Amino acid sequence: MAMEEARKLCQEMHSDLVTINSEAERIFLWKQISKEPLSYWIGLNVDLDGTFAWMDGSPVVFQKWDENQPNFSNNDENCAVMYSSMVFLSNEMVKAPTTNLWIGLHNKHSQQFCWTDGRPMQYNNWPPNKECAAMITDPTIGIGKWQQMSCNDTNGYVCLRNLDSPEPTVTTAYVKLFNDSIKVVTQPMNWDAAQKNCQSDSANLASLRNVWSQTYVELMALNLNSPVWIGLNKKQTVGYFTYVDGWHMTISNWYRKYPSTDQDCVFVDVDGKWKTAYCNQTMNSICMMSTGGTLASIEDPTEQQFILRNVKIFEDNHSSFWMGLYKTHKGVWQWLDKTVMDYINWDTDQPGDNTYGVIEVSDGRWRTGEKWNRREYICKTPKASSSPVDTQSRGHVILAAVLLITAIAIGIFIVLFLFKKSGRHLPVPEKTTTFDNPVFVSNEQSQQDLVDTNKVVTME
> Domains in the chain, start-ordered, CATH in brackets?
3-83 (3.10.100.10), 126-153 (no CATH), 175-290 (3.10.100.10), 294-380 (3.10.100.10)
Q: How wide is the angle at C-alpha 331 spanned by C-alphas 352 and 155, nearest 5°?
A: 130
The DSSP code for 182 is E
Torsion (CA) 305, 309, 314, 319 in degrees, nearest 10: 30
What is the enclosing helix (H) or strand (E) of 310? helix 301-311
Which residue did the predictor score with more confidence, 384 or 268? Answer: 268
| Cα–Cα distances in angstroms (integers) from residue 58 to residues 29, 38, 53, in the given order | 18, 26, 7
Which residue did the predictor score with more confidence, 54 or 390? Answer: 54
Beta carbons of 269 and 227 less than 8 angstroms apart: yes
Give percent above pLDDT 90 in the chain.
Answer: 27
State how far the Cα of 164 lies from the Cα of 162, in Å rounded to an integer: 5
Please tell me whether the overall predicted TM-score, pTM, comes out greater than 0.75 for this model. Answer: no
Mean pLDDT estimate for the chain:
75
Lowest mean per-residue pLDDT among 54-58, 67-71, 106-110, 322-326: 106-110
Is a pLDDT exceeding 90 seen at residue 357?
Answer: yes
State how far the Cα of 397 lies from the Cα of 428, in Å rounded to an integer: 36
Averaging pLDDT over each range in 117-121, 236-240, 258-262, 279-283, which range is the top one? Answer: 279-283
Q: Is 324 helix (H, G, I), strand (E, B) or coil?
A: strand
Q: How many CB atoms lie within 10 A of CB 297?
A: 21
pLDDT by residue (tens digit) across 123-172? 665 555 555 667 777 777 677 676 776 777 777 776 666 566 555 565 66
Phi first, then psi, for residue 405 (nearest 5°) are: -65, -40
Where b means 16+ CB within 10 Å and e means fewer, 175-206 reads: eeeeebbbbbbeeebbbebbbebbeebebbbb
pLDDT band at 394 (very low <50, low <70, confident <90, very high): low
Q: How many contiguous H segments (helices) and E segments (strands) does the chain have?
A: 6, 22
The DSSP code for 246 is S
| Cα–Cα distances in angstroms (integers) from residue 226 to residues 190, 192, 212, 275, in the given order | 14, 18, 20, 13
Q: How many CB atoms lie within 10 A of CB 275?
A: 19
| Cα–Cα distances in angstroms (integers) from residue 171 to residues 138, 158, 178, 286, 328, in the given order | 46, 35, 16, 15, 36
185: Cα separation from own chain's centroid: 26
Give percent above pLDDT 70 in the chain.
Answer: 63
pLDDT by residue (tens digit) across 211-256? 889 999 999 999 999 999 999 998 866 678 888 887 778 789 999 9
- Identify any residues that bridge with 115 across adjacent strands, giving them in sequence order: 105
Write the CB contacts of 7 (distance below 8 Å, at least 6 apart in sequence). 16, 17, 41, 43, 55
Exposure of 369 by Cβ count < 10 A (0-12 exposed, 13-18 middle, 19+ buried)? middle
pLDDT by residue (tens digit) across 319-345? 999 999 998 888 889 998 888 888 999
pLDDT by residue (tens digit) across 87-134? 432 333 333 333 345 566 666 555 566 665 566 666 665 555 555 667
The DSSP code for 410 is H
pLDDT at 429: 46
The rounded radius of gyration (Å) of the Cα atoms in the chain is 31
State how far the Cα of 120 lies from the Cα of 65, in Å rounded to an integer: 11
pLDDT band at 279 (very low <50, low <70, confident <90, very high): very high
State how far the Cα of 211 lies from the Cα of 218, in Å rounded to an integer: 10
Is a pLDDT exceeding 90 seen at residue 304?
Answer: yes
Write the CB contacts of 267 (distance below 8 Å, at least 6 apart in sequence). 227, 228, 229, 230, 274, 275, 276, 277, 283
Which residue did the predictor score with more confidence, 158 or 361? Answer: 361
Q: How many CB atoms lie within 10 A of CB 208?
A: 27
pLDDT band at 438 (very low <50, low <70, confident <90, very high): very low
Which residue did the predictor score with more confidence, 371 or 113? Answer: 371
pLDDT band at 40 (very low <50, low <70, confident <90, very high): confident
| Whether residue 388 has a cis bond before it, omega within 30° of 0 | no
Phi first, then psi, for residue 327 (nearest 5°) are: -110, 130
